[in-house]
Amino acid sequence: MAEQTLTNAEDAVTTPEGWDSVVSDWSSDQRAFKNVPWGKAMMWIFLLSDTFIFSCFLLSYMTVRISTTVPWPIPSEVFALTIFGESIPLILIAIMTFILISSSGTMAMAVRFGYLRDRKKTTILLIATALFGVSFVGMQAFEWTKLISEGVRPWGNPMGAAQFGSTFFMITGFHGFHVSIGVIFLFIVARKVWRGDYEVGRKGFFTSRKGSYEMVETMGLYWHFVDLVWVFIFAFFYLW
């Protein structure tokens, strides 16, 4: 009985409790990241930090819009396009949103066929996702060009509140930058899949364990995050 009490006392001393236990588990990589590829874990951490940045941007936008005393431009009028003599509100934004959401579907299928080790279908779907991204960025460039030609600047706006230009270019530009980087990585990963780098475990950037397509899934996490952020931008900036 005395020996058991002594053993329990020793366990109480050596086993960390509270926040010390959390830190111990994560730092020792025994529970939190057990059997999780290092690249995927780092991607989740990066996406978490990026979530804070986009959240700050959107919160700043909402604060500015609520507090400004100058009338805010009406998005349905600002982002309208004239087609065959008719002004159609938000038509370009709707197409951009459809394209980006569709790219999430092709990305999800690429991950599935990657784990099935179907190189051809995985490559085609990755390239299709990248082309969707290129189309999105191209439309965003057209949108920027249109607003700039109408006099909208980061420091001014002839349609109303001056903060409209600064928040618009900051938020959509930062998101467009993410999409552009994602497109580059998608083409790189597609090339490596097509060459069979993940089958033989060829050394180089964006590689993973031999016979594993973990990098395709990691790329999918990033791309789905970019799509999800756009849903919030679309809701708060274009529909509000």
Instruction: Give the span between the Cα atoms of 240 and 237, in whole angstroms.
Output: 6
Cα-based distances in Å from 7 to 2, 21, 24, 201: 9, 19, 21, 48
Q: What is the residue-level pLDDT of the chain in tens, covering all 240 positions?
A: 444 444 444 444 455 666 666 666 555 554 555 566 677 888 888 999 999 999 999 999 999 988 888 888 888 888 888 888 788 888 999 999 999 999 999 999 999 998 888 889 999 999 999 999 999 999 999 999 999 998 888 888 888 888 888 899 999 999 999 999 999 999 999 998 888 877 765 565 556 555 567 888 899 999 999 999 999 999 988 888
Query: All domains of the chain, ordered by start, with CATH?
Result: 1-35 (no CATH), 37-238 (1.20.120.80)
Question: Of the candidates 211, 213, 214, which has an alpha carbon nearest to the alpha carbon of residue 37?
Answer: 214
Task: Look up the pTM and report it.
Answer: 0.81
